[in-house]
Homo-oligomer: A and B are copies of this chain.
């Protein structure tokens, strides 16, 4: 990402990413080390950046949204740690580094994932306690918490992961593939944007338009990722391309070919940009994110 606001958000998140984990306890420090290992392994920080971007776009202060931004990165990171386990995708590399279970063993990796998911909710619920004298802001934050819980749960991210596991090695319909993508990747991206918008104080049309933007962006992002898995550069990706194909995963390029997949990314990106047209004067962050994510796969 080259957008200046994005880079500032990313820097801000990375500076504070460990601040909302529970305090270190030396008797069980390995869970902290394992969580920190995966949190510090880089990545785009797309979800927390979108959360902060949405908050600021809607008139909120990004400092107040930080616990939620970090929480959503904890949730994304836990999902990667569990996804990489031998029982799941059995990946040994992530972002160019050995995966969590390769370094810490399967048992600690399972618990580090559980720990990150728990820490996300601990951080957000602890934040709520700070707003007992500020009811308007307390309500905004409860709404954000609920969006994140829903987006990461069994009708969101986990639904997508389950359907993905179940579809492995099978012929997959377009409807099912959209379902997997929309949930596995899209739900948390949408939750990030909606949570940020809630904290920023958005309602009505603006919330609806941002949700629409996020849903299109999420799907475009996942298809672009599938395209990169076919023809991306190993160094840039930090893992071997072709893993989806080896694992018999259903992907857009696998089902429809590269050209059709690129066309779909471009259509989804156009739709994402179009819904933001009422706010073009102010929406450069969002339009840049959508355009840059689409360009990766072109």
Which residues of A are interface residues toward B (Cβ below 8 A)? Answer: 21-23, 25, 27-28, 30-32, 35, 78-79, 82, 85-88, 105-108, 110-111, 113-115, 117-119, 121-122, 125-126, 128-129, 132, 135, 138-139, 142-143, 145-146, 149-150, 152-155, 158-163, 165-166, 176, 179, 183
Give the CA-CA distance A149 to B123 in the complex, in Å.
9
Partner pick for A88 among B35, B107, B132, CB 8 A cutoff = B107
Q: Report chain B residues within 8 Å CB of A110.
A: 82, 85, 87-88, 110
Q: How many copies of the chain does the oligomer comprise?
A: 2
CA distance A133 to B143 in the complex (A): 14
Q: Which residues of B contact A87 (CB under 8 A)?
A: 85-87, 105-107, 110
Residues in B with CB closer than 8 Å to A118 are 117, 149, 152-154, 158
Given contacts A115-B154, A138-B138, could you give 16 more A-B pairs where the C-beta distance is less than 8 Å? A21-B154, A22-B153, A22-B154, A27-B179, A32-B154, A82-B111, A85-B110, A88-B107, A110-B110, A114-B158, A117-B117, A119-B153, A121-B149, A122-B154, A129-B142, A135-B135
CB distance from A74 to the nearest CB of B (A): 11
A179 and B28 CA atoms in complex are apart in Å by 10
Bound CA–CA A193/B185 (angstroms): 37
- A23, A28, A183: which has the most chain B beta carbons within 10 Å? A28
A145 to B142 CA separation, bound complex (whole angstroms): 11
A114 and B149 in contact, given A27-B179, A28-B154 (Cβ under 8 angstroms): no
CB distance from A250 to the nearest CB of B (A): 13
Tell me whether A125 and B111 are in contact (CB under 8 A). no
**Docked CA distance A229–B111 (Å):** 24
* Chain B nearest CB, measured from A190 CB (Å): 15
Residues of B within 8 A of A135 (CB): 135
- A28-B159 in contact given A82-B114, A142-B125 (Cβ < 8 Å): yes
* Closest B residue to A85 using CB positions: B110
| Min CB–CB distance A162 → chain B (angstroms) | 4
28 contacts between A and B (CB under 8 A): A22-B153, A22-B155, A25-B155, A27-B179, A28-B159, A28-B162, A28-B166, A28-B183, A31-B158, A31-B162, A32-B154, A78-B114, A82-B110, A85-B87, A87-B87, A108-B162, A114-B117, A115-B153, A117-B117, A118-B152, A118-B154, A121-B153, A122-B154, A125-B146, A128-B145, A132-B139, A138-B142, A142-B142
